[in-house]
Amino acid sequence: MSRILASGKLPVELLRELLESGPPDPPELRVGPRIGEDACALDLPAGTLVAASDPITLTGADVGAHAVVINANDVAVMGVRPRWFLATILLPDGTDEASVRGIFRSMRQALEDLDVTLVGGHTEVTSSVVQPVVVGQMMGLAENGNVVLTAGANPGDRVVQVGPVPVEGAAVLALEARDQLGSLDAELLERAANAIHQPGISVVDAALAAARLGATSLHDPTEGGLAAGLIELAEASEVRLRIDPEAVLWFEPGLAVCRALGADPWATLASGALLATFTADRAPTACAELQRKAAPARVIGSAEVGSGVTLEGRGALRSPERDEVARVLR
């Protein structure tokens, strides 16, 4: 009997099977669909085109801006500035003109903030969705051909976390599960609900700065939270990550929301944080610079020979079966 799939990302083993079943890559495809990589990279005469695509499905709130930032992050973590955006916007039956204008207004504000141009897409009302869904596609060009991969970490590198977790999860849960959070302090709940904007979910500036500082790998933990992000980085780089859980940077309103809902913060939507690896000699300077220019930054572990992720004093970190936001809301 065929297995029924849970909401969220496909199981890694199934996704690997699907990705490996295609024809050989053409020579211009430098980075194709791989576990753990956030975008693809195509070598063209003008440079290397980096492109990424992600949908916003777990919330219907502020989806226009959300789609821009999430897709911009995926391009930036290759060390490339996002420049061009396409959006497919699917709206449920009953959507009014004011709602559509609101989505476009928030999307254009986010594009302006990141200096990105909307270059195309498609918008329709359809009975196939029950809330607004935006599928974004972001592109950037590395004219010098230089890109940073998730797969670039080496044994001996230090793992740096930039920005706390869970920021995105805090915002989505505070908005979508607000009726279950009445016991939380009102100010704390408001900080969680506003987390998309403060501290924010963009890692574009942090990722570009980390690339300039010599990051050996970059990764944008999203669905599945910090746990999934660390496991994806380890798998892509074929190393073991040894992480100090006491060093992890946590977003306190996000922790409070997770506690109130019985959610695991390690497996809760983590956009707003960046994972980077640096050689041991560069890590201290990189942390100081990232802290000064982008967001709080801290060494949380190291890479070594082996596989998987080990939490010091706790044992192996297991891959989440699904993101906690999906579990709580569905």
9 assigned to some structural domain: no
166 assigned to some structural domain: yes
> Of how many residues is the chain composed?
330
105 assigned to some structural domain: yes
Q: Residue 146 pLDDT > 90, yes or no?
A: yes
Q: Are residues 174 and 61 in the same domain?
A: no
Q: Are residues 315 and 283 in the same domain?
A: yes
Find, among 11, 327, 295, 36, the residue nearest to 172 by Cα. Answer: 327
Compute the average pLDDT of residues 34-48: 88
Q: Are residues 237 and 258 in the same domain?
A: yes
User: What percentage of the chain reaches a pLDDT higher than 70?
Assistant: 99
Nearest-5° angle of CA 198, CA 213, CA 39? 70
Asked whether the beta carbons of 141 and 49 are under 8 A apart, the reply is: yes
Domain end call among 142, 172, 195:
142
Q: Are residues 217 and 262 in the same domain?
A: yes
Q: Which residues, in sequence order, are CB contacts of 327 under 8 Å at separation 6+?
A: 263
What ranges in 77-181 are assigned the alpha helix state H? 97-114, 167-176
Confidence category of residue 230, pLDDT binned at 50, 70, 90: very high
CATH number (domain holding residue 170): 3.90.650.10
Q: Are residues 156 and 119 in the same domain?
A: no
Determine the Cα–Cα distance for residues 287 and 150; give it in Å rounded to an integer: 18
Q: Are residues 112 and 79 in the same domain?
A: yes
10 assigned to some structural domain: no
Q: Residue 16 pLDDT > 90, yes or no?
A: no
6 assigned to some structural domain: no
5 assigned to some structural domain: no
- 39 versus 277: which is more confidently predicted? 277
Q: Are residues 245 and 297 in the same domain?
A: yes
Q: Residue 150 pLDDT > 90, yes or no?
A: yes
Q: Residue 304 pLDDT > 80, yes or no?
A: yes
CATH number (domain holding residue 50): 3.30.1330.10
Mean pLDDT value across the chain: 93
Q: Residue 227 pLDDT > 80, yes or no?
A: yes
Q: Are residues 216 and 265 in the same domain?
A: yes
Q: What is the pLDDT of residue 89?
A: 93
Find, among 232, 258, 259, 230, the residue nearest to 245 by Cα. Answer: 230
pTM: 0.91
310 assigned to some structural domain: yes
Q: What is the pLDDT of residue 7?
A: 73
For 267, the token pair is 């497996």
Domain end call among 93, 123, 142:
142
Q: Are residues 175 and 222 in the same domain?
A: yes
Q: pLDDT tens for residues 77-135?
A: 999 999 999 999 999 999 999 999 999 999 999 999 999 999 999 999 999 999 999 99
4 assigned to some structural domain: no
Confidence category of residue 37, pLDDT binned at 50, 70, 90: confident
> What is the DSSP secondary-structure string of 25-80?
PPTTEEE-S-TT--SEEEEETTEEEEEEEEEE-S--TTHHHHHHHHHHHHHHTTT-
Structural domains in the chain (count): 2
Q: Are residues 163 and 298 in the same domain?
A: yes
257-286 b/e (C-beta count within 10 Å ≥ 16 → b):
bbebbebebbbbbbbbbbbbbbeeebbeeb
Compute the average pLDDT of residues 283-312: 96
Q: Are residues 161 and 285 in the same domain?
A: yes
**Torsion of the alpha carbons at 217, 222, 223 and 226, rounded to the nearest 10:** 70
Q: Are residues 194 and 302 in the same domain?
A: yes
Find, among 29, 38, 134, the residue nearest to 82 by Cα. Answer: 38
Compute the average pLDDT of residues 37-42: 86
In which domain, by residue range, is 201 found? Answer: 150-329
Domain end call among 123, 142, 161:
142
**Cβ neighbours around 65 below 10 Å, total:** 24
